[in-house]
Structure 1
Amino acid sequence: MKRILLLFIATVTGAQATCPAWAPARAEREIAQLTAQIARWNDNYWRQGASDVSDSVYDQLSARLTQWRRCFGYEESGESAPPGLTSGVLHPVAHTGVQKLADARAVSQWIAGKRDLWVQPKVDGVAVTLVYHQGRLKQAISRGDGLKGEDWTEKARRIPAIPQTVTGALSESVLQGEIYLQRDNQIQKQMGGMNARAKVAGALMQQGESNALTRLGVFIWAWPDGPQKMDHRLMLLSQAGFPLAQRYSQKVTRLEEIAAWRDRWFTTPLPFVTDGVVIRSAIEPEGKHWLPTQGSWVAAWKYQPPSQVAEVKAINFTVGRTGKISAVAQLQTIKLDDKAVQRVNVGSLARWQTLDIAAGDQVLVSLAGQGIPRIDSVVWRSTQRAKPTPPAQKYNALTCFYAVPGCEEQFVARLEWLGSKAVFDIDGLGRAGWQTLHQAHAFTHIFSWMALTPEQLRNTPGVTPSRAAQLWHQFSLVRQQPFKRWVTALGLPLSRAALGALADNHWQEIVARDEQGWQRLPGMGSARAQSMVNAVHHPDISRLAQWLADQKIPGF
C-alpha cells in the first residue's frame, strides 16, 4: 500500500467508533502524541524510504487518530499529507495515489456513475516513473512525494524486467508502475505479504553491484496521455515488453465481478505479492492535471489484513489448573477472519511485563493456529500508564483442589480440565457450565459434581430438563472410566510415556511407590519422580482418593 492518499474511507466497528472517555487534557495529550508519531513515520517513509510499521498498522492508527480528532472537536488535519521534498527529480506527470475503499458497500458507491471500469491486482512493491525518449529509457524516478522523487535510472538499467528500448507509441512516453519482488506461485491467502515492499526498497537502496535487482519485476498500471482505449493501451504495453498489465487487467461493470476477481487473485498463484485490487476508469484527465491525492478515477479495495489493531480496555489475571498465573487483555471488539475477538491471553506475567501492556494501549492481534487470537506486538502506548497489580504467587500444582477462599480461578480451571477430552470428555460442558454448577451447588472439591442427584441437576438455574438428563448420563459414565483416567484427573505429574507404561491398577500401588520406583518408568527423571511422591502423599490428594473410594470408583 502506498501512502499518497491518507484521507481514506475507514471501516470502524461499533466498539471502535465509540469515543474514548477521556478528560480534555488527556485527549489533547493522546492526540498530540499520536499525531507526532504518524508525522515521524511519514517523514521516514517519504524521505528515507523506510517503513517503521506495516501499512496495515499505519492505516489503522491513522483512522484511529481521525476518529479521536472528530470525537473531541478538533479540525480536520493535514498532518498526514506527504511532506514536500526540497530536492529530487521532478516527475513529468505526478503520481496521484489511490483512494482506499473499506468494503463492498464503499466500492459500490465509488463505481456508481463511472464508465469503462477495469480491475487489476494491487501489486505490493514500490512505485516508479519510467520516462522513454526517442525509444530509450531516459529516466526512472521513485515516487517520492508524488511530485519529485529520487533518480533511480542507473538501478533501473540493471533490472532485466525493465525494457531499455521501446518502439512505436511508447517511444515518447511516461509510464507509472510498481517495481515488485518476482515470486513463483505466490498464493496471497496462504503466504501473506512476505515483507515484499521492504525487500524491493532494500534492493533499490543497495550500493554497488548486487544480484538483488535481477529478482525484481515491473507492473505498469498507468500510461498518462496514452491511448484512450484501455484494451489498445494494454496491447501496446504488452508488445513493448510490459505483458503483466494486459494479463492481469479485467473489464468489469458490476460489484460482483470486482469481488470475484478480488477473491480469485487472493486464492490463486500469482507472480507477485498483492494486498488487494485496484479499480480504475479508463477515462482519465490529461496528465498535466494529475496531482497527488487527486486520482478520482482510481481506487483500491484491499484484502482484510491478517492482523488488526485493537484497543486494550483492561488487563485481568487468571490462574490456570497448575497454578500458573496468566495475563488476559480485554479488548474493544475486533473481527479477524469473521471471528469476533474481545479477549486475548497475553501469556505469562513475564511476557506481559516484557510487552508492557496497559489499558488504553493499541495492540496488534492476529489468529494463531486453530484460530486462537494472539497479541503480536504493542503498536501504540497510551500516555497514561496505569497497570494492575497481579495476584500473589501463592498457587502451584498442589493448590485449590478444594473450593476455599482465594481459589476461585484455579478451582474452576481444574473443573474445566476434568471435562476436557484429555480427561473425562464431558460433551458441551465448558468453563461457563462448570461455573453455573459450582455456583448453584457450592462444590466442596473438584469431584463434588459426581454426587449431584438428577433432581439437583434439574433444579440448577439455567439448565433445561433435557440438558440435566444429559449431564446425569455423562456423569454416570465418568464413574466407569478406567483407573488411569482417574490418575490423570488428579493432576499427578506423570509423563505421558510413564502413564502409558504404568501397570498399577489400584491407588494403594501408586502410594506405595518411592522415588526410585517412579524413576523406573519412561520420562520420569529425578525431579519429576520426587514431585510424584510429594503429590500422592499430599493431604488434599489423599482426602480426594479416600472420597473416590467411598464412591466406589474402581481402583480406589
Structure 2
Amino acid sequence: MFRLSVSAFVFSSALLVSATTLANCPAWSSDQTQQEISSLRQQIADWDRSYHRDATSAVADEIYDQAREQLQAWQACFSGSHTAEPAAAALTSARGSLELPFSQMGLRKLNATALQQWMSGRDGLWVQPKVDGVAVTLVYKQGQLKQMLSRGDGLLGYDWMAHASVIESIPKQLPSKQSRITLQGELYLQQSQHIQAQHGGSNARSAVAGLLNRNSLSPAEGDKIGLFIWEWPDGPPSMQERLQQLQDLGFTTSKTYSQPVQSFTQAKHWRQHWYNSALPFASDGVVIKHSQRNTEHARSSYPPTWAVAWKYPLQQALTAITDVTFNIGRTGRITPIAHINPVLLDDKTIRKVSLGSLPRLIKLALSRGDHVAIALSGHAIPQLKDVVWRSPQRQTFTAPEAANYHTLSCWQVSSECQQQFLARLTWLGHKKALNMPGIGTQTWQALIDGKQINQLTDWLALSVDDLKQLPGFAEKRSAHTAQTFAQAKLAPFRVWLKALGAPSSVTAKSDDNWQKLAALSQQDWQQLRLLSRNNARQAHAFFQHTAVQVIALNLRQHGIDGF
C-alpha cells in the first residue's frame, strides 16, 4: 500500500534477524563490512529519494523490502543491534511542506506465524487488500475537497490538489456538511480483471507514481487512476460504521473489499481469495486492522500498532551471487550458471540459475557478492531478472575461451574437454540418437573414470568382463550395459550420423554411406544436396574433420552400417 520506511522495520527485523540469520553472517574483514553496509545503505537512500521525492519506483517493492531486511541482518551480525534508523532520517528527501493531519507511516509486515501471534487475543479485526498504489490524504470541509496531500515522509507531504480536478475517482463534493472529513487511501492504476497470482504487480504502482509526478494531468490520464479509501481516522469509532458511511458518501469499494475476521484461518481465506481473484487494482498482500483506531497520537513517527500487513508470496527474491560456473554442451555452447544463496519461490528452493550465454554474463558484469533479483518464468524456471546492487568488493569470474569450443571440438578425453566430451557421449545414448535405455551421464562418467573410454567410440570394444572390473558394475548391470551397447551397434547409418552430431541439414539417402558423403565437396553439398552456402560449409567441415574421420574408421572396423 505504501513503501515501508526504515522505522517500520523495527518489528519485522526482529522477527527476521534470527539465530539462523546470525549463524550465516558473512566472514568479512572490518573494512569490507563497512564498505558493504555503507554501499547498501546508500542504495536504499537513493531508492527512498527516488520514490518519496520524485514519486518513481526504481525497484520492485518486494525487492526493496528484502534489501531493508538484509541491511538489518548485516547490522545485527556486526554490531549486535538491529535498531532501525529514525524514519525522519531515512525519508528527509520525501518531506514536503504541508503537515498531514494524521501520519501515514509504514506498516509492520508479518509472516504467517507472527500474524497468528499478533491476532491472538485481539477482537474486532478486519482484513482488506493491500492495494498497490500511491498513498494519499484527502481533507474535506463542509463536504468540499480542500486538500489532496502526498504521503511524503509520513508526517509532511506535498500539495497534489492540482491533480484532483482531473481524477474522476476523487469526489470534489461530498453529500455531507460535516465540518471536517479526513480520508486516507490509495491512488491506484485502474485495471480490468487483474489477478495478482497470474499478473503480479505489473508495475502498477510505478505507473501511478509517474502520472502523479507530472506537473499536470490530462483528463484521459486522470481517468486511469482509481481511489481506494482504507481509513477514515476522524470518522465514526467502529469499522462497520465507517464503511457504511463511506459507502453513503460514494466510496463504495471500501465496503466491498473489507471483511471482518475472527481468526487467522479467516484472514488466510481472504488473502488467498483476493490473491487469486480478478480485482480492479494490483495488490501485494492484505492488511489486518482493528475496528477502532487509536488516534491519541495522530502524528506518530512510528508504525501504527492497530494494523499490520501480510504480504503475498514473493514474485521476486533477493539473493547474493556466490559463484559462476560454466556448462559446455556437446555443440560447444557455453552456458554460465550463477550460484546463489538459496531462496524460496513458489515452494521451490533455488540455488542456481542459468544466465543463458556468455554475452549476457559480460553484460551483467557479475561479481561475487552482487545482489540480484530472482523470479520464476511461466514454466517455473528460475531467471535472474536484475542486478539490484553491486558489491564494492569486485571479484569477477573468468570464463572459458569461447573460441576453443564449437561443434567440432572435444572428441576425446582431456582436461579442457571433460564437459563437452561427456555431453557427446550422453547424446549418443539419448532416445533421439542411439537410444540406449539406462545408459546416462553417470554410466559414461564411470567409464571415463575407469579409463575404459578415451575416444568417442571406445565403448564399442567393451565386454561384460571389462565392465565388471569397474566399481559399481555388478554382474547384472554389466550384462545390461553390454547388451545395450551391442543393440546400439545395429542402428542404421542415418541414426549414427545424427548420434555423431552431423549437421541437422544433412539427410542421408537410402544408398548413402560414409565414403560417398565424405567425398562431396562444399560445392557438391550445395548443388547436389541443395544445401544453403552456410549449411554446405558446415556439412563439408564435419565430414572432413580429422577426429570425425578417425571415428568413422573405427566404426567401419566394428562393422557399423554405412561405414
TM-score greater than 0.5 by the shorter chain? yes
How has the CA–CA distance of structure 1 residues 448 and 226 changed in structure 2, closer, same or farther, with 3 Å as cutoff? Answer: farther
1:188 equivalent among 173, 187, 196: 196
Letter in 2 for 1:92: P
Contact 1:91 / 1:147 at 8 angstroms: preserved in 2? yes
Equivalent of residue 26 in structure 1, options 24, 27, 32 = 32
Letter aligned with residue 209 of structure 2: A
Q: Which residue of 2 aligns with 1:3?
A: 4
Question: CA–CA distance in 2 between the matches of 1:432 and 1:170?
Answer: 78
Query: Quick one: distance in 1 between partners of 2:168 and 2:122?
Result: 37
* Corresponding residue for residue 424 of structure 2: 414
Q: Deviations over 1:71-109 (max 9, x none)?
A: 1126445447342466422111111321111x3212212
CA apart distance, 1:408? 0.8
Whether the 8 Å contact between 1:417 and 1:423 is mirrored in structure 2 is yes
User: How many residues are matched?
Assistant: 552
2:545 aligned with 1:526: no
Decide whether aligned partners of structure 1 residues 114 and 432 sit closer, same or farther in structure 2, where only a CA change above 3 A counts. Answer: farther
Partner Cα distance (1:358, 1:446) in 2:
37
Alignment of 1:306 onto 2:315: yes
Question: What code does the residue aligned with 1:68 have?
Answer: W
TM-score, normalisation: structure 2: 0.89
Secondary structure, counterpart of 1:374 in structure 2: strand
Contact map agreement 2:95 2:152 (CA 8 A) in 1: no
Q: CA offset at residue 413 of structure 1?
A: 2.3
- Supply the AA of the counterpart residue of 1:343: K
Q: Does 1:514 align with 2:517?
A: no
> Structure 1 segments of 4 or more deviating over 6 A?
463-470
Judged with a 3 Å threshold, the aligned counterparts in structure 2 of structure 1 residues 166 and 68 are, in CA distance, closer, same or farther, namely: same
Cα drift, residue 19 of structure 1: 0.9
Q: Is the 8 A contact 2:244 2:255 kept in 1?
A: yes
**In structure 1, how many angstroms separate the alpha carbons of the residues matched to 2:435 and 2:271?**
43
Q: Tell me which residue corresponds to 1:93.
A: 102
Give % identity. Answer: 38
Task: Give the match's secondary structure for 2:227.
Answer: strand
Q: Secondary structure at the match of 1:145?
A: coil
- Aligned-partner residue type, residue 528 of structure 1: N
Note if contact 2:135-2:150 (Cα within 8 Å) is conserved in structure 1: yes
C-alpha distance in 1 between matches for 2:521 and 2:30: 67
Alignment of 1:323 with 2:332, yes or no, is yes
Tell me the residue number matched to 2:404.
394
Q: 1:141 aligns with which of 145, 149, 154?
A: 149
Distance 1:17 1:264, change over 3 A: farther
On the 8 A contact 2:166/2:217 being kept in 1, the answer is no
Distance 1:537 1:3 in 2: 65
Check whether the contact 2:142–2:177 (CA below 8 A) recurs between aligned residues.
no
Shift in Å, 1:239: 2.4
Query: What is the DSSP-based 3-state SS (H/G/I as helix, E as strand, rest coil) of the residue aligned with 2:278?
Result: coil
| Counterpart amino acid of residue 9 in structure 2 | L
* More deviation, 359-368/177-186: 359-368
Cα separation, 2, equivalents of 1:326 and 1:23: 33
* Partner residue of 1:491 out of 492, 501, 509: 501
Whole-angstrom distance in 2 between the partners of 1:467 and 1:282: 70
The answer (yes or no) to whether the contact 1:284–1:297 under 8 Å persists in 2 is yes
Confirm or deny: 8 A CA contact 1:136 1:171 kept in the other structure: no
SS of equivalent residue, structure 1 residue 20: coil
Counterpart of 2:73 in structure 1: which amino acid?
A: Q
Structure 1: 5+ residue runs without aligned partners? none
Alignment-mate amino acid for residue 184 of structure 2:
Q
Map of 1:439 onto structure 2: 449
Contact 2:261 2:267 in 1 (8 A): yes
- What root-mean-square deviation, in Å, do the aligned CA atoms of Structure 1 and Structure 2 show? 2.9
Aligned-pair CA distance for 1:334 = 1.5
| CA distance in structure 2 between the partners assigned to 1:153 and 1:475 by the alignment | 80
Does the CA contact (< 8 Å) of 1:16 and 1:333 recur in 2?
A: no
Deviates more, 1:108-117 or 1:134-143: 108-117
Residue pair 1:16, 1:332 contacting (<8 A) in 2 also: no
Alignment partner for residue 43 of structure 2, among 37, 47, 51?
A: 37
Do structure 1's residue 361 and structure 2's residue 370 form an aligned pair?
Answer: yes
- 1:502/1:521 contact within 8 Å kept: no
Alignment map for 1:87-486 (pairs within 5 Å): 87-101=96-110, 103-168=111-176, 172-210=180-218, 211-286=220-295, 288-392=297-401, 393-420=403-430, 422-424=432-434, 431-432=441-442, 434-454=444-464, 460-461=470-471, 475=485, 477-486=487-496
Between the aligned partners of 2:424 and 2:517, the Cα distance in structure 1 is 21
Structure 1 residues 503 and 156: alpha-carbon distance in aligned structure 2, compared to 1, 3 A threshold? farther
Aligned partner letter, 2:157: G
Q: CA offset at residue 117 of structure 1?
A: 1.7
Aligned to 2:75: 69
Distance in 1 (CA, whole Å) between partners of 2:319 and 2:63 is: 10
